[in-house]
Structure 1
Amino acid sequence: MGYIRWFLSFLKKYRVRMIVGLILVFITSLLVLINPQISGMIVDEVIEGQHYEKLGILLLIMIGVTLVRSLLRFTFLMCFESSSQGLVYDMREEAYRKLMKEDFNFFNKNRTGDLMSRQTGDMDAVRHMVSHVIYFSFENILVFLMALVMIFSVNVKMALCMLIVLPFTLAVTLSQRRHIKPAFDRVRDCFSSLNAFAQETIAGNRVVKAFAKEDYELEKFDRENDGYRDAQLNAASIWMKYIPMFEVLSQCLTIILMIMGGFMVIDGEMTIGNMVTVNGYLWMLNSPLRQAGWIINDLQRFLTAIEKIYKVYTTEPDIKQPEHVVEKRKLKGSVTFDHVNYYTNDDTVLKDISFHVEPGQTVGIIGATGSGKSSLVNLICRFYDVNQGRVLVDDIDVRNLNLQTLRGNIGIAMQDVFLFSDTIEGNIAYGNPDCTFEQVQAAAKIANADEFIREMPEGYDTIIGERGVGLSGGQKQRISLARAILKDPSIIILDDTTSAIDMETESMIQNELKKISDERTVFIIAHRISSIIHADQILVLDNGRLVERGTHEQLLAKKGYYSTVFHHQYGEFDRFKKVRAEKGRGEA
């Protein structure tokens, strides 16, 4: 029941408001008892006793009680509603803060739509619990018990007859609760799946349209939608089966009153006024019995929702702040891999990687797809932890550095460029929001993005679509590069950042990067030799192993993997130039 304790920890902040609300509910429930008593007095004393002078006073009391009850009800509803909104606000913020602390593995295992469901539909079930179910359950229990006590005070024999219904009501309630829980679990799972599918398809709408797969996606959506509908209908069929039972049990009370009460009035054991009074309390017994099924439904929906939220909240990240943090605000930028092995799901990604990079050096990384290039730089940022060996930055194991300090000293332009629905200036300044416009512009110039940005309708204030929709691949890469540079990091990582840029633009960017590379360590992952040809050292990865290392000239001399890639990319071009040159001399 850890998730209940977790929920109560948030509720504690609003306990005063909730207690005041419950006290008002108690007072309101007490006031409900007055009008049936007055109804009985009107019958016995005014109608039968002919004390007509009491009628006005009794009616005024009934009206006054009704008005006071209405005012108190409005007040306690406001107490519970404001508490529910505040609690869900706090819970959603805390859950979101925990999400921001999760590592890459967490998001690899959980779909975005599922996590969104925790923050939306499940949170709303919690809000409904606090704003409605708590006071409603308390009110119904109070009203039922008070009505039963008042009926005992009127006639004990009649009250005992009413109690016959309670064991049957309890049995039906327990049976419903047992059957409804798995049904609601299925509903929440199907809702999460539907939400995840819709989010994924909408985000990938360009791919869907490019392949003309709208009908195919509609069929898949229909299957998800059908699953959610069937889960809802299954849950509905359960409470539809039990709700009539509660209705029958509540009506049994009326039958008992009519039969037993009639005989008792005939036998003189009760007055007609007593019977009217009991009849006035009867709805106070009927209503809780009718509502029991709905309350169980809402309670089970809440338990299912809070359990799922808590499960996400309590998932501990693999990457945590070290217990004994080595604080160093500004890193110089030296990087060392010391016999590093990294594997995931029994699949070895990097094997015995060792190299050293001095501050200010530029390192090129090249290799076939899946050779471990991105994984290698992800270990520098500590997005993942090594399984064996060490990754050192400034001769400090990254597992001992403060995570925010480490990542704050690294500017990374990732392979999968993500831009926010914001202005271009806001996207570039994301890592340093307090920077000046001149700094944003300077970073954009280094990334060769200033020119195309100024040509846009509103320049740097142009709002780009979600994930950078409206920009070309090369434009998005250059904005991503500018964002990494603006952090003023000690280490810059460019993960295939210039793959969508023409070679002329790439050359201009490299020239600009050379001006700042003396102050920063730069890692460039690339498939084109031109991107890394001037690097101080080049790492060649093959199947997770560091197979070659050296400068461009040194690697060409080895005539290995690097040399083969170089000749594949430049050999035909050099031969073409040679043929053209010989042809030109022959014509002359």
Structure 2
Amino acid sequence: MAKVAGKAYDINLLKRIFTYIKPYKRIFAWSITLTIALAIVSPLRPLLIQFTLDKYILTDDKPGLTSMTLLMLFLLVLQAVIQYYHTFLTNKLGQSTIRDLRINVFNHISTLKLRFFDKTPIGQLITRTVSDLETIADIFSEGLIVIAGDILQLITLLAVMLYIDWQLTLIVLLPMPLLVFASYVFKEAIKSAFQEVRSQVGHLNTFLQEHITGMNITQYFARENQEMHKFKQINAKHRDANIRSNWYYSIFFPVVEIISALSLGLLVWYGSKSIIDHDTSPGVIIAFIMYINMMFRPIRELADKFNTLQMGMVGADRVFTILDTHDEEENSGSFATGKLDGAISFENVWFAYNENNWVLKDISFTVEPGQTLALVGATGAGKSSVINILNRFYEIGKGSVKIDGLDIRDYELGYLRSQIATVIQDVFLFSDSIANNITLNNPAISRDQLIKAATEAGAADFINRLPEGFDYNVMERGATLSAGQAQLISFIRALVYNPKILVLDEATSSVDTETELLIQQTLQKLMKGRTSIVIAHRLSTIQNADKIIVLDQGEIKEMGSHQQLLQHNGYYKRLFDLQFNSSGIEKTTFG
């Protein structure tokens, strides 16, 4: 938090925010123009009232009174119109700016490596992308422009007051140092409170995102009461932070009112004496009463608006911290032509998620075009890491990974991944139609291609039985489908892109036996002509693979065909015996 506080009024940060205004320079210019207009128009009404009282009311000049009344009415309407457009344009400027900035943040987040998401809570990213960005909008709608307008209005008011009666103005301003001191104390106190509020909002969002997503785990283990207790604690901290900020307001505003009343009392005392001594007129006193109200209103709100500006800067600092995270996926390659043959080779590959904590150790193997490679081993052996490396979700530490003899870093990243289709165990479906979940809204994929892929996967029948067929909305995370149906959809999603390399990462582990048989019946046809990598914990699903690699603690223990590995009577044979009885019938699975 100290870092954030230190950057609260960073001029460089403010300049960076203003770079996003460039597409809306006209709106910004109009906002500034209207701000200046308000500062000029606002002091005119008390001046006209003073003039009307002294020149027309006290002299009983009714025609003149009528004319001045109409003039003041026109001025009031003009001020209301200016205020309307000023409020509208500053808000439009703020919302337009954060719309562009939010797009930039989302695009940037989508380019970050998976290791960034491994260590960053999703709720925190949501806070940065939603609520922190809203505070940046307040810089324009309630912060910088409004503050500049209030300061300009104060200068105009003081200039007019000094012009009318400089002695009376100095008397009225005597309590002003007290107000300046109170505003400074309030600003420092509310700054800390607001920072705590923003911090607690982040904690609250993170907790809610994690626990709503994992609600099934909470209910499976009957942890509702315990998690509710945690939520109450986090919610109480959020409440206390807001109450603390409101408490500072509840003290500051009455203090301002007292100082304003003191200034008004001095005006009445000195003004009455001046009227009796014929040194001033009643109109001047009435005008000064209005000026005091007009002067104290922006001063009273100035500290609050400075904190609005400050919170916008705090939000901007957090958002730009995300934008300045240089952990983007490296896209150094440029090769992106034609179709791949699908030859894969790992040459002495070492890989670690954390430095020197090697997950894969000196891994070497080759897969010829059209061949099927199976990876087996216990949980944590490094099977999924091979897939993550192949897709360049993570970069290797040592060695090289090649496709068709070319290092994968030499391929354009989007092209590389378009050639590799992956079906994973944990299926993710968006709250959208089945068709859009399969095509991912790719307009290049026609409905005919979609239906063909679904038919090849044996899923067209169950989809057509749904109320709206391919247009059926699966709801969030596919809540209205069974695990097997969701897995089939992800399988079609991979196939519809017609990849050259097909990856099945325990793709049948979450489906029922009937659905697995349905998939197995089409797998041979679908793998034909494609290089396939299959990760499976059921050995029955990979016995026909051209090559099987047994991994253990990141190292290759054995490599060969199913029959070769059985004859070797080693690690694979022991795994096989764990799953099958003496008759060769599957009896269990391993992790």
Structure 1 residues not aligned, in runs of 5+: 578-588
Letter in 2 for 1:119: T
C-alpha distance in 2, partners of 1:394/1:476? 33
Q: Does 1:128 align with 2:138?
A: yes
Q: Does 1:439 align with 2:440?
A: no
**1:49-97 CA deviation, whole Å, 9 max, x = no partner?**
3444421111111111111111222222222222222112111111111
Q: Are the counterparts in 2 of residues 319 and 385 from structure 1 also a CA contact under 8 Å?
A: no
Q: Are the counterparts in 2 of residues 80 and 130 from structure 1 also a CA contact under 8 Å?
A: yes
Q: Does 1:355 align with 2:365?
A: yes
Q: Does 1:338 align with 2:347?
A: yes
C-alpha distance in 2, partners of 1:193/1:88? 23
Which residue of structure 1 lines up, in the alignment, with residue 580 of structure 2? Answer: 570
**1:430-454 CA deviation, whole Å, 9 max, x = no partner?**
2754323332233223333233223
Which residue of structure 2 lines up, in the alignment, with residue 585 of structure 1? Answer: none
| Identity among equivalent pairs (%) | 32
Q: Are the counterparts in 2 of residues 339 and 390 from structure 1 also a CA contact under 8 Å?
A: yes
Within a 5 Å distance, the mapping from 1:414-433 to structure 2 comes to 414-430=424-440, 432-433=442-443
Deviation at 1:132, TM superposition (A): 3.0
Q: Are the counterparts in 2 of residues 448 and 505 from structure 1 also a CA contact under 8 Å?
A: no
Which residue of structure 1 lines up, in the alignment, with residue 229 of structure 2? Answer: 219
Which residue of structure 1 lines up, in the alignment, with residue 6 of structure 2? Answer: none
Q: Are the counterparts in 1 of residues 432 and 475 from structure 2 also a CA contact under 8 Å?
A: yes
Which residue of structure 1 lines up, in the alignment, with residue 317 of structure 2? Answer: 307
Which sits farther off after the overlay, 61-70 or 33-42? 33-42
C-alpha distance in 2, partners of 1:374/1:492? 14
Deviation at 1:487, TM superposition (A): 1.0
2:284 is aligned, of 271, 274, 289, to 274
Which sits farther off after the overlay, 284-293 or 409-418? 284-293
Deviation at 1:272, TM superposition (A): 2.5
Letter in 2 for 1:398: I
Which residue of structure 2 lines up, in the alignment, with residue 541 of structure 1? Answer: 551
C-alpha distance in 2, partners of 1:13/1:442? 45
Deviation at 1:18, TM superposition (A): 1.9
C-alpha distance in 2, partners of 1:126/1:100? 22
SS of aligned partner of 2:174 = helix
Which residue of structure 1 lines up, in the alignment, with residue 509 of structure 2? Answer: 499
Q: Are the counterparts in 2 of residues 446 and 509 from structure 1 also a CA contact under 8 Å?
A: no
SS of aligned partner of 1:448 = coil
Which sits farther off after the overlay, 334-343 or 184-193? 184-193
Q: Does 1:97 align with 2:97?
A: no
Which residue of structure 1 lines up, in the alignment, with residue 33 of structure 2? Answer: 23
SS of aligned partner of 1:5 = helix
C-alpha distance in 1, partners of 2:102/2:462? 40
C-alpha distance in 2, partners of 1:265/1:304? 51
Letter in 1 for 2:113: D
C-alpha distance in 2, partners of 1:510/1:291? 70
SS of aligned partner of 1:370 = coil
Which residue of structure 2 lines up, in the alignment, with residue 33 of structure 1? Answer: 43
C-alpha distance in 1, partners of 2:289/2:585? 105
Within a 5 Å distance, the mapping from 1:92-491 to structure 2 comes to 92-322=102-332, 325-346=334-355, 347-430=357-440, 432-491=442-501
**1:498-534 CA deviation, whole Å, 9 max, x = no partner?**
1123456535534423224232111000001111111
Which residue of structure 2 lines up, in the alignment, with residue 584 of structure 1? Answer: none
C-alpha distance in 2, partners of 1:564/1:242? 76
Letter in 1 for 2:353: T
Structure 1 pair 216/46, CA: closer, same or farther in 2 (3 Å)?
Answer: same
C-alpha distance in 2, partners of 1:225/1:168? 37
**1:112-143 CA deviation, whole Å, 9 max, x = no partner?**
22212222222222223322334432332122
Q: Are the counterparts in 1 of residues 457 and 488 from structure 2 also a CA contact under 8 Å?
A: yes
Deviation at 1:337, TM superposition (A): 0.8
Letter in 1 for 2:527: S
Residue correspondences, number: 576
| RMSD over aligned Cα atoms | 2.2
**TM-score, L = length of structure 2:** 0.92
Which sits farther off after the overlay, 26-35 or 531-540? 26-35
SS of aligned partner of 1:164 = coil
C-alpha distance in 2, partners of 1:403/1:549? 30
Letter in 1 for 2:401: V
C-alpha distance in 2, partners of 1:81/1:423? 35
**TM-score, L = length of structure 1:** 0.92
Q: Are the counterparts in 2 of residues 365 and 539 from structure 1 also a CA contact under 8 Å?
A: yes
2:75 is aligned, of 62, 65, 77, to 65
Which residue of structure 2 lines up, in the alignment, with residue 583 of structure 1? Answer: none
Deviation at 1:342, TM superposition (A): 0.8
Structure 1 pair 417/257, CA: closer, same or farther in 2 (3 Å)?
Answer: same
Structure 1 pair 400/236, CA: closer, same or farther in 2 (3 Å)?
Answer: farther
Q: Are the counterparts in 1 of residues 127 and 202 from structure 2 also a CA contact under 8 Å?
A: yes
C-alpha distance in 1, partners of 2:249/2:307? 7
SS of aligned partner of 1:571 = coil
Q: Are the counterparts in 1 of residues 484 and 515 from structure 2 also a CA contact under 8 Å?
A: no
Q: Does 1:54 align with 2:64?
A: yes
Q: Are the counterparts in 2 of residues 341 and 353 from structure 1 also a CA contact under 8 Å?
A: yes
Structure 1 pair 296/575, CA: closer, same or farther in 2 (3 Å)?
Answer: closer
Letter in 1 for 2:337: K
Which sits farther off after the overlay, 419-428 or 44-53? 44-53
C-alpha distance in 1, partners of 2:483/2:24? 50
SS of aligned partner of 1:364 = strand
Which residue of structure 1 lines up, in the alignment, with residue 19 of structure 2? Answer: 9
C-alpha distance in 1, partners of 2:208/2:537? 34
SS of aligned partner of 2:345 = strand
C-alpha distance in 2, partners of 1:431/1:75? 40
SS of aligned partner of 2:455 = helix
Structure 2 residues not aligned, in runs of 5+: 1-9
Deviation at 1:538, TM superposition (A): 0.7
C-alpha distance in 1, partners of 2:564/2:412? 37
Structure 1 pair 519/405, CA: closer, same or farther in 2 (3 Å)?
Answer: same
Structure 1 pair 285/431, CA: closer, same or farther in 2 (3 Å)?
Answer: closer
Deviation at 1:329, TM superposition (A): 4.2
Letter in 2 for 1:286: F
C-alpha distance in 1, partners of 2:135/2:578? 60
Q: Are the counterparts in 1 of residues 360 and 382 from structure 2 also a CA contact under 8 Å?
A: yes
Structure 1 pair 16/409, CA: closer, same or farther in 2 (3 Å)?
Answer: same
C-alpha distance in 1, partners of 2:148/2:261? 22
**1:141-181 CA deviation, whole Å, 9 max, x = no partner?**
12211111111111122222334344443333333333333
Structure 1 pair 142/505, CA: closer, same or farther in 2 (3 Å)?
Answer: closer
